[in-house]
Amino acid sequence: MTEVEKWRRYWALQKNALERYDSEEFHRLCAREIMVMLGDQTEASVLEIGCSNGSVFPYYGFNSARYTGVDFSPHLLEIFEARHPDVTTHRAEGSAFVQPGGKFDVIFSQSVIQYFDRKMLEDHISRASSMMHSQSVLLCASIPWKACRGLYRSGAASWDIGPSFVRRLKAEVSVLLRGDSIGHWYEPRDFVSIGARHGLSAQFYGCMTYPYRFHALLRKVRE
């Protein structure tokens, strides 16, 4: 089974966003962190990859009429559309989505890149680049940081758990038997190299909500 087919089957059955914290306070915090990096985008044309059920959408401040959301899950999109009937949505696999001829001021995702293997990530950045103009930004937010993988599995990278050798050992065994529940882990240099192949430069930020993750902000290289 391919990576795409695995996630297609997985998300087809989901009826919630599987967030660690499902509260207005947490959604507001996630949106605030995104907007610190994006700045004021009230009237921007926006494409969100992995828009889920729209629980965070009200806190971004985007113009509904200029927003497009993409997600794998029909159930989550139904919830989003019911909550915000003015938005445009597409049911599609995020790494493969492209709107021919379409250009967006902002393209972003949050806690989505972990579901992309290396080829899917390359495809996503390539397609996103084709939908960017000279002033556009591509934000890949909340990416599991490979350098922090051991800290995460031991509990040392969590605010409320603390490190434990036994916890890490159990986590490592679980990964060997059942695979990594997080998905794919990346390094900032991965985005530097992939971005460069598609005419994009990258800068990075630490994640406030999950200390074992980072954000990658990519822009067109000015010639």
**Same-domain pairing of 89 and 46:** yes
**Same-domain pairing of 75 and 106:** yes
**Same-domain pairing of 19 and 118:** yes
**Same-domain pairing of 14 and 118:** yes
- Taking the C-alpha atoms of residue 35 and residue 29, their distance in angstroms, rounded to an integer, is 10
Residue 171 has pLDDT above 80, yes or no: no
- Taking the C-alpha atoms of residue 93 and residue 150, their distance in angstroms, rounded to an integer, is 30
**Same-domain pairing of 116 and 171:** no
Please list, in sequence order, all residues whose beta carbon lies within 8 angstroms of the beta carbon of residue 200, skipping any fewer than 6 positions away.
Answer: 125, 129, 138, 218, 219, 220, 221
Please tell me the predicted confidence (pLDDT) of residue 101.
83
**Same-domain pairing of 29 and 117:** yes
Mean pLDDT computed over 47-59? 94
> What's the pTM?
0.84
Please tell me the predicted confidence (pLDDT) of residue 206.
94
Q: Report residue 161 CA to chain centroid gap.
A: 24
Tokens 């992309």 belong to residue: 116
Mean pLDDT computed over 71-77? 90
Query: Structural domain tally of the chain?
Result: 2
**Same-domain pairing of 105 and 199:** yes
**Same-domain pairing of 161 and 195:** no
**Same-domain pairing of 37 and 123:** yes
Quote the domain boundaries for residue 151.
146-183
Please tell me the predicted confidence (pLDDT) of residue 152.
73
Mean pLDDT computed over 115-139? 96
Please tell me the predicted confidence (pLDDT) of residue 164.
64
**Same-domain pairing of 190 and 166:** no
